[in-house]
Each structure stands twice: as structure tokens, then as C-alpha cells.
Amino acid sequence: MSKIVDAVTNSKEETYALGKVVAYWITTALLAFVEGSGGIGELTHQWGTLDTVEIVGYPVYFLTILGIWKVLGTIAILVPRFPRLKEWAYAGIFFGMTGAAASHASVGDYGAYGYHIWSTLGLAILAVISWSLRPKSRKL
């Protein structure tokens, strides 16, 4: 009887572990896509990024700085190993997105229904979820 109970328990634990891994990769892939494409858009000074930086009052060269860090952060969270670098990348994404929300709020750039604030806070939350679901091989 205990073998059956152990088998059922192990099956549930494996299913939970598999679900956690799938959730990690989905959130990480979404985060990497948004941050990476945003970083490339900022590096190439796409029209939406130029408008946004002018609205919040930052100089245009700030886009290059943000773009470089976003692309490097995206690479850091995707590559294997380097757990300390991943910690810094997640922290940078979180601070960058919450800082963006604060910047938009401080100049009254809410967009339609507060889009600029909610979208950046949503990305900060997505970064926290991805960070918390990391497998042991990606933790310190």
C-alpha cells in the first residue's frame, strides 16, 4: 500500500515540478521578448521610444543607455549558469520598470486608462514571477 501512496505522491510532485518549469519558461520568454525588443527599439531610436523619452523629459541619449542594459539583461536571464548575474539582471529589470512607472506618473503621462503606468508595473511583476519560479540551477 505504501508503494502506491509513494508512487502517487511522487507523480504529483513531478507534475508540480513540471508545471513550475513550464510557468518559469513562459514568464521568462515573455519578459525576455518584451525587454529585448524594447531594448532594440531604444537602441535604434524607434518612433515610440523617442516620443516617450520626450514626454518624460529625459535626453535622447538616455535611450542608448537603457537599450544596452535591456539587451544585456535579456541575455543574462536567458543564458545558462551565472546565477549572480541573473540576480542583478532581474533587479535591474524590476528597478527599471518601477522607475519608468514613477517617471510617467510624475509627469502625468498616464496614457489611455493609465497604460504607461500599468504596463510598466505589469512587467515589473512579470520579472518578480520569473525570478521566483527559477529552477535551482539558476539560483545562487
| 2 inside domain | no
Please tell me the predicted confidence (pLDDT) of residue 62.
94
| 14 inside domain | no
**Tens digit of each residue's pLDDT (9 = 90 or more) over 80-112:** 989 999 999 999 999 999 999 999 999 998 777
> DSSP letters of the chain?
-HHHHHHHHHHHHHHHHHHHHHHHHHHHHHHHHHHHHHHHHHHTT-HHHHHHHHHHT--THHHHHHHHHHHHHHHHHHSSS-HHHHHHHHHHHHHHHHHHHHHHHHTT---GGGHHHHHHHHHHHHHHHHHHT--GGG--
% pLDDT > 70, the chain: 89
- Whose cell is 513531478? That residue is 14
Burial class (CB in 10 A: 0-12, 13-18, 19+), 82: middle
Report whether pLDDT(5) > 90.
no
Residue 38 contacts by C-beta under 8 Å, 6 or more apart in sequence?
Answer: 49, 67, 70
Q: State mean pLDDT over 59-81.
A: 96
What are the cell numbers at 107?
Answer: 509627469
Please tell me the predicted confidence (pLDDT) of residue 120.
95
Q: What is the mean pLDDT of the chain?
A: 89
| 12 inside domain | no
Residue 30 contacts by C-beta under 8 Å, 6 or more apart in sequence?
Answer: 126
| 16 inside domain | no
Domain, as residue range, for 77: 26-138
Confidence of residue 2 (pLDDT cuts 50, 70, 90): low
The total number of structural domains in the chain stands at 1
| 1 inside domain | no
Report whether pLDDT(7) > 80.
no
